[in-house]
Chain A
Amino acid sequence: SAVISQKPSRDICQRGTSLTIQCQVDSQVTMMFWYRQQPGQSLTLIATANQGSEATYESGFVIDKFPISRPNLTFSTLTVSNMSPEDSSIYLCSVEGGREDTQYFGPGTRLTVL
Chain B
Amino acid sequence: AQSVTQLDSQVPVFEEAPVELRCNYSSSVSVYLFWYVQYPNQGLQLLLKYLSGSTLVESINGFEAEFNKSQTSFHLRKPSVHISDTAEYFCAVSGAGGAQKLVFGQGTRLTINP
Give chain A's interface residues, CB within 8 Å of chain B: 1, 30-31, 33, 41-45, 48, 58, 92, 94, 96, 99, 101-108
Shortest CB-to-CB span from A64 to chain B, Å, is 21
CA distance A92 to B92 in the complex (A): 15
For chains A and B in complex, what number of residue pairs have CB atoms within 8 angstroms? 50
Partner of A96 from B42, B51, B99 at Cβ < 8 Å: B99
- A43 and B90 within 8 A (CB): yes
Give chain B's interface residues, CB within 8 Å of chain A: 32, 34, 36, 42-46, 49, 51, 90, 97-99, 101-107
Shortest CB-to-CB span from A25 to chain B, Å, is 14
- A106 and B101 within 8 A (CB): no
- A41 and B43 within 8 A (CB): no
Partner of A108 from B34, B43, B46, B106 at Cβ < 8 Å: B43
- Of all chain A residues, the one with the shortest Cβ separation from B102 is A103
CA distance A48 to B101 in the complex (A): 8
Cβ of B107: which chain A residues have Cβ within 8 Å of it?
Answer: 42
Q: Beyond A42-B90, A48-B101, is A102–B106 a contact (Cβ under 8 Å)?
A: no
